[in-house]
Amino acid sequence: MLESEMKILVTGGAGFIGSAVVRHIIEDTKDSVVNVDKLTYAGNLESLASVANNERYAFEQVDICDRSELDRIFSLHQPDVVMHLAAESHVDRSIDGPAAFIETNIIGTYNLLEAARQYWNSLDNDKKAAFRFHHISTDEVYGDLEGTTDLFTEETSYEPSSPYSASKASSDHLVRAWLRTYGLPTIVTNCSNNYGPYHFPEKLIPLMILNALDGKALPVYGDGMQIRDWLFVEDHARALYKVATEGEIGETYNIGGHNEKANIEVVKTICALLEELVPTKPEGVVQYQDLITYVKDRPGHDVRYAIDASKIERELGWKPEETFESGIRKTAMWYLDNKAWWSRVLDGSYSRERLGTN
CATH number at residue 314: 3.40.50.720
204 is a domain residue: no
The residue annotated as part of the active site, out of 31, 80, 88, 139, is 139
User: Which position has the higher pLDDT, 1 or 326?
Assistant: 326
pLDDT at residue 254 tops 60: yes
Q: What torsion do the CA atoms of 129, 58, 170, 121 make, to the nearest 10 degrees?
A: -30
As a whole number of angstroms, the distance between CA 136 and CA 70 comes to: 18
Q: Could you confirm whether 164 is annotated as catalytic?
A: yes
Which pLDDT score is estimated for 92? 81
Residue span of the structural domain in which 192 resides: 3-198+231-258+303-321
Q: What is the mean pLDDT of the chain?
A: 94
pLDDT at residue 185 tops 90: yes
pLDDT band at 357 (very low <50, low <70, confident <90, very high): very low
327 is a domain residue: no
pLDDT band at 148 (very low <50, low <70, confident <90, very high): low
106 is a domain residue: yes
336 is a domain residue: no
pLDDT band at 356 (very low <50, low <70, confident <90, very high): very low
343 is a domain residue: no
Structure confidence by residue, pLDDT tens digits, 87-142: 988 788 889 899 999 999 999 999 999 999 999 999 999 999 999 999 999 999 99
187 is a domain residue: yes
Q: Read out DSSP for 83-119?
A: EE------HHHHHH-THHHIIIIIIIHHHHHHHHHHH
As a whole number of angstroms, the distance between CA 79 and CA 301 comes to: 39
The answer to whether 23 touches 56, Cβ cutoff 8 Å, is: no
pLDDT band at 352 (very low <50, low <70, confident <90, very high): low
Q: Is 4 exposed, middle or buried (0-12, 13-18, 19+ CB in 10 A)?
A: exposed
Q: Could you confirm whether 140 is annotated as catalytic?
A: yes
Domain count, the chain: 1
53 is a domain residue: yes
The residue annotated as part of the active site, out of 164, 195, 241, 305, is 164
Which pLDDT score is estimated for 144? 86
Determine if the pTM surpasses 0.85: yes
Structure confidence by residue, pLDDT tens digits, 71-85: 999 999 999 999 999
Q: Which range among 58-62, 84-88, 301-305 shows the weakest confidence by mean pLDDT?
A: 301-305
Helices (H), the chain: 16-28, 67-77, 91-96, 99-101, 109-121, 125-130, 163-182, 204-213, 233-246, 263-277, 310-316, 324-337, 339-346, 349-355
User: Which position has the higher pLDDT, 202 or 139?
Assistant: 139
The β-bridge partners of 58 are 34
As a whole number of angstroms, the distance between CA 21 and CA 269 comes to: 27
The residue annotated as part of the active site, out of 37, 80, 140, 144, is 140
User: Which position has the higher pLDDT, 353 or 329?
Assistant: 329
What does DSSP say about strands 227-232 and 260-262: parallel, antiparallel, or unpaired? antiparallel
Q: Is 124 exposed, middle or buried (0-12, 13-18, 19+ CB in 10 A)?
A: exposed
H helix or E strand, kind and range, residue 293: strand 292-295
20 is a domain residue: yes
Q: Taking residues 230-249, report their average pLDDT.
A: 98
H helix or E strand, kind and range, residue 227: strand 227-232
The answer to whether 143 touches 158, Cβ cutoff 8 Å, is: yes
The β-bridge partners of 33 are 8, 57
